[in-house]
A and B are shown apart, each in its own frame.
Chain A
């Protein structure tokens, strides 16, 4: 099958490549571009480990063909660091509040939480849980993930400083 020409902006950098149309976005990111932050957990659209941001929407990249993201702006967990390369607020809060154990779900969690806080900067705990319900974690029991996101929201609103 003929390859197609794809072009997108990934973490602020313009990329171009030839890809088979059946290539899933997650495989394009990981194998073609070497961006291995987004993980493959279930491969069946359930776990959210592969979540990336596509034009302002949280998307399970194992359930999107590369052509559907043609021309889009894609952000992965790598793109959520500060300009100087240090951990971004959400990443820092996950570290501080032990929002991860094995870390497998973390890139999807953080990328999804990023969009959630963009849309709702002042969520209740209930809204965080509902907004994060497409992401599964086998380790933490979610308590500390919710805490980390609530803390990040407070920092981003300027109400609280991140502890150094």
Chain B
């Protein structure tokens, strides 16, 4: 399986990268870990004429735990998992990242690529919606922030403009004592979710998001409100009312709806048990 031909660029600064992206327009795509893009290019479902590799841009790396938690777009899943300060500040991130793909993919796949990709199967988008994260975007016109909850429009369609690069993710600190859980049903390690649920419950309320159950991640405000009021069954019912799974080789929609309910209930129970 040989991808189409392209020209390879490896800029060293963000300015160079956004410059290339606006100059080359539609014919260019950025390359992060390549573990979603290269499979698509092998299938010729993507055939960019230019690839702009972000690997040499130092500004896109690094994890900083300050007033917010900032995760650079090019931080890999393996780096995120290995970071003890991050796991202490927001343990849900590590718990979910360990359920993504397999070790080889996690060494290379980036957090930025995972959230920017727009594939409903990706685990990080729902997770970031649950946590109330914001994405930093840089384009020719400057920089802006978009809330994860406003970012996803439909499959592979996001609020990111074609000439923007996602530079990092800002995650607010969960309140002390917040209970959390990520529950994912998959056919085998390395598979995308049949259904997955991210839950936090704390002093500031509760938050619920679901993965791979619609053409975008589903953050359910109603489910979060029900859960904050102590109504777990109501939270599950509210979330199930918002998902829209389709039939595919992971099963018929009815089965996925069932699994979604089970995953969410498990996530709620585990998050409650972890509340401080």
Interface residues of A (CB under 8 A from B): 1-2, 4, 20-22, 24, 43-46, 48, 51, 57-60, 63-65, 67-68, 70, 112, 116, 130-134
Q: Which one of A2, A57, A112 has the greatest number of beta carbons of chain B within 10 Å? A: A57
Interface residues of B (CB under 8 A from A): 1-8, 10, 31, 34-35, 38-39, 42, 51, 53, 55, 78, 101-105, 107-108, 189-190
Q: Which residues of A contact B3 (CB under 8 A)?
A: 22, 24
Per the bound structure, the CA–CA distance linking A67 and B264 in Å amounts to 42
Q: Which residues of B contact A2 (CB under 8 A)?
A: 7
Q: Which residues of B contact A130 (CB under 8 A)?
A: 103, 189
Contact B78 A57 (CB under 8 A): yes
Contact A65 B105 (CB under 8 A): no
Q: Which residues of A contact B10 (CB under 8 A)?
A: 67, 70
Contact B6 A1 (CB under 8 A): yes
Contact A58 B55 (CB under 8 A): no
Give the residue of A20, A21, A46, A134 whose beta carbon is less than 8 angstroms from that of B103.
A134
Per the bound structure, the CA–CA distance linking A65 and B2 in Å amounts to 11
Say yes or no: A44-B1 contact (C-beta < 8 A), given A21-B6, A65-B8: yes
Contact A45 B5 (CB under 8 A): no
Chain B residue nearest to A51 in the complex (CB): B104
Contact B108 A134 (CB under 8 A): no
Q: Which residues of B contact A51 (CB under 8 A)?
A: 104
Per the bound structure, the CA–CA distance linking A44 and B107 in Å amounts to 17
Contact A63 B34 (CB under 8 A): yes
Per the bound structure, the CA–CA distance linking A46 and B103 in Å amounts to 11
Contact A58 B7 (CB under 8 A): no
Per the bound structure, the CA–CA distance linking A68 and B3 in Å amounts to 15
B75 to chain A, nearest CB (A): 14
Q: Which residues of A contact B189 (CB under 8 A)?
A: 130, 133-134
Per the bound structure, the CA–CA distance linking A133 and B100 in Å amounts to 12
Q: Which residues of A contact B35 (CB under 8 A)?
A: 45, 63
Contact A131 B103 (CB under 8 A): yes
Q: Which residues of B contact A133 (CB under 8 A)?
A: 102-103, 189-190
Give the residue of A44, A59, A67 whose beta carbon is less than 8 angstroms from that of B53.
A67
Chain A residue nearest to B101 in the complex (CB): A134
Contact B190 A58 (CB under 8 A): no
Give the residue of B8, B55, B101, B108 whose beta carbon is less than 8 angstroms from that of A59.
B108
